Structure 1
Amino acid sequence: MQYTIPDYYKEFTCIADKCEDTCCAGWKIVIDKKSLNKYKHVKGKFWFTMLKSVDWIRGIFRQDKEKRCAFLNDCNLCEMYANLGEKSLCKTCRLYPRHVEEFEDVREITLSISCPEVARILMEKKEPVRFLTYEKEGEEEYEEFDPFLYSMLVDARDAMLEILQDREHSLKIRVGLILGMAHDLQGRFNREQLFSCEEVIERYQTKSARKFVRKLWKEEKPSVQERWEMAHKMFRELYELELLREDWDMLLMESEELLYSHGADAYKGISSDFKRWAKEESNIQIQAEQLLVYFIFTYFCGAVYDGRIYAKVQMAVISTFHIYELWKARWIKNEGELTPEEIVELMYRYSREIEHSDKNLERMEKMMLRDRLPWYRG
């Protein structure tokens, strides 16, 4: 079995009660069947606490009125962990913030940016992320798994990550290249022409491809009004998603008001000013690159199961755009300031709403299928 992890994987250590926004509150924690059965056989003084703190029918931990886990004490520490030890934790609590994507004989393990500490580690990382691979004993076969398609997707993803991390070129051009590659690969897949995908992957890594994208930017550049309408429309699509935390809608409405309420010309001015500030005062271009790499690595090869090649790249680009817009709105609110802590906060709050709901991930991809982003407009 092959395992792959990002190079910052071992930098992560849970900071427990020091965390600014504990993962033990705000969402329902599902208990795996093995752990649920183990909890039924707990003995001693802790049994009564276990009995009243678990919803045995739904297989989740109960929560108080503030949606805090019943085992989370006033010091933001886990009473189950304190009384029964680390091995008592259910699979969800034991694994988080690790996120596992499963393929035949392959496990890809990332760290979810919904965790504030992971988000901080990634946003402080200046050098390009590298992915480390190692082997463990064991094999696994999937009945409905296309190894040829998966191999093509891995090659395409490797090429996309290389393009995204080539800092000699603007991020805008890099985004155009990976969208173009995914768009053309989707066409080959739809026409059952996988044999020609290698040529597509190679073509988008060439100098001529970069010239082609630059030319398209100039020829197909949207007007100020079109850019404002497109940005506003994409942002408003976030309201179509399942709401996991009540304060999320408030953040979206505040950000929408700050960004889009004064029309196209005002939005253009805000965007230009923020871009200028970011170039002079921050590492936001590198941070946006790290986000794109995170989303592409985590989700792209999942297209082996549903064939949504272009949708997954669009989702990575638009998710990065949404987080960038949230940063921009907070910068406006702060009258031209944006702290590293706020960059991390807005990033993990977005991730918690999108990545921790299978329904929202599915809806996001279906939005990409419904409203296909013209790839040359990135």
Structure 2
Amino acid sequence: MLYTIPDYYHEFTCVAGKCEDTCCAGWQIVADEASLEKYKNETGTFAERLKESVNWEEGTFKQDKDRRCAFLNQSNLCDMYTALGEESLCRTCKLYPRHIEEFEDVREVTLSVSCPEVARILMNKKEPVHFLTYETDEEEDYEDFDPFLYSKLLDARDVMIDILQDREKKLNLRAVLILAIARDLQECIDEEDIFSMDDVFDYYQAEEGVREVKNALAEVDYYTYSRKMFQNQYQMEHLRADWESYLQKAEKLLYGNANEKIDRKRYVELQQEFHAWMAKEMPEYEIQYEQLLVYFISTYFCGAVYDGEAFAKAQMAVVSTLLIHELLMAQWMKQEKVLDINDVIDTVYRYSRELEHSDSNLNLIQELLQESNE
């Protein structure tokens, strides 16, 4: 088995009760069968607490009215861990914030930016991310796996990451280049013409392809597109009680609600002012967005080997980074046009939790993006 990890993987250490948030609230924690069996057989003083705190029918940990795990105490520490030790934790709790994508003979392990500490590491990282590999003797069989498509998706992802990390190009050009590649790759997948994928890579790495994308950028209506993508978030499952009101306040600050002509002009002016402020006061912001784009592409793009939806996965990476940008601009406006690195970290991990802690949200955003392409 080949394992892949990002180069900052070993920088992570859980800060436990010192964390500004908790990973044990806001989402349903599902326990694996082996852990559930162990909990059923517990006979010590913690046995009654286990019996009362597990939803045995669903195989999940119960939550209180604030959606906090039944084992999470007021110091944001786990009572099960304290009583029974680390080995008592279910697979979900042991792994988080590690996220695993599995392919034939390959496991890709990333760190989820839904964890504030991971977001802090990645948003402070200045160098381009690299990926490390190591091998083990494990073997597993995968049915209905297309190794040739997977190989081409790997090639595509390498090309996309190379483009995203080319800091000689403007960030919006890099983002739209990977969208153009994914769009054309999707046509190859739909037409079962996998052999033409190499031509797509070559075209968008050459001057002609870059020029085409630059011309397309000039036609983008950022106000309409950003607002439409922003409003998609209301269709998603909201994991935190305050998320919808947070979105509503941000939407009003960004896009207004009175007169489209006036609101559009105001948005363009605000966007220009925000970009100028960021370039002066937080010049590393394009690096932070680059790291996010690489994170989403590296984590999800090759999953297209299972559903064939390469374009939607590339779109999710770009749209997620765009939405984080929009939320940051709203925060900047709310705070009288000031931001700092903690605002960036907070926005990144909060957005990620709403998206990545819900399979239904991950599926929905892909469906919405597919519909927007029709």
Please give the range of the TM-score, normalised by the shorter of the 2 chains.
Answer: over 0.9
What residue in structure 1 maps to residue 193 of structure 2? 193
Residue type at the aligned position of 1:200: V
What residue in structure 1 maps to residue 146 of structure 2? 146
Correspondence 1:156-171 to 2 at 5 A: 156-171=156-171
Q: Distance in 2 between matches of 1:66 and 1:249?
A: 15
What residue in structure 2 maps to residue 360 of structure 1? 361
Deviations 1:16-72 (A, max 9, x none): 000111111222211111100000111221112212222222211122222221211
Residue type at the aligned position of 1:298: T
Shift of 1:110: 0.5
Q: Distance in 2 between matches of 1:201 and 1:54?
A: 50
Matched, 1:244 2:239: yes
Shift of 1:360: 0.8
Shift of 1:258: 0.4
What residue in structure 2 maps to residue 376 of structure 1? none
Correspondence 1:283-322 to 2 at 5 A: 283-322=284-323
Shift of 1:201: 1.2
User: Structure 2 length as normaliser, TM-score?
Assistant: 0.96
Residue type at the aligned position of 1:347: V
Residue type at the aligned position of 1:368: L
Shift of 1:199: 1.6
- 1:133 counterpart SS class: strand
Residue type at the aligned position of 2:100: V
What residue in structure 2 maps to residue 11 of structure 1? 11
Q: How much identity, in percent, do the aligned residues show?
A: 55
Residue type at the aligned position of 2:246: L
- 2:23 counterpart SS class: coil
Q: Distance in 2 between matches of 1:236 and 1:190?
A: 29
Deviations 1:109-138 (A, max 9, x none): 000111010011000001100011111112
Q: Distance in 2 between matches of 1:188 and 1:362?
A: 22
| Long gaps (5+) in structure 2 | 257-261
* Contact map agreement 2:186 2:310 (CA 8 A) in 1: yes
Of 23-32 and 298-307, more deviation after overlay is shown by: 23-32
What residue in structure 1 maps to residue 340 of structure 2? 339
Shift of 1:203: 2.0
Q: Distance in 2 between matches of 1:53 and 1:318?
A: 38
- 1:101 counterpart SS class: strand
Q: Distance in 2 between matches of 1:55 and 1:306?
A: 32
What residue in structure 2 maps to residue 83 of structure 1? 83
What residue in structure 2 maps to residue 260 of structure 1? 255
- 2:28 counterpart SS class: coil
Q: Structure 2 vs 1, CA of residues 44 and 140 (structure 1 numbering), >3 Å: closer, same or farther? A: closer
What residue in structure 1 maps to residue 135 of structure 2? 135
- 2:205 counterpart SS class: coil
Matched, 1:55 2:55: yes
| Long gaps (5+) in structure 1 | 374-378
Which aligned runs of 4 or more in structure 1 are off by greater than 4 angstroms?
none
What residue in structure 1 maps to residue 214 of structure 2? 214
Shift of 1:227: 3.0
Q: Distance in 2 between matches of 1:242 and 1:79?
A: 28
- 2:109 counterpart SS class: strand
Residue type at the aligned position of 1:274: F
Shift of 1:73: 1.6
Shift of 1:213: 1.9
Q: Distance in 2 between matches of 1:350 and 1:43?
A: 41
Shift of 1:372: 2.1
Shift of 1:230: 2.1
Of 1-10 and 71-80, more deviation after overlay is shown by: 71-80
Q: Distance in 1 between matches of 2:66 and 2:215?
A: 53
Match of 2:224 among 222, 225, 229: 229
Deviations 1:321-372 (A, max 9, x none): 0111000000000111112111111111111111111111111111111002
- 2:242 counterpart SS class: helix
User: Structure 1 length as normaliser, TM-score?
Assistant: 0.95
What residue in structure 1 maps to residue 259 of structure 2? none
Q: Distance in 1 between matches of 2:288 and 2:22?
A: 23
- 1:129 counterpart SS class: coil
Q: Distance in 1 between matches of 2:139 and 2:58?
A: 33
What residue in structure 2 maps to residue 2 of structure 1? 2
Residue type at the aligned position of 1:267: Y
Matched, 1:327 2:328: yes
- 1:311 counterpart SS class: helix
Q: Distance in 2 between matches of 1:278 and 1:120?
A: 18
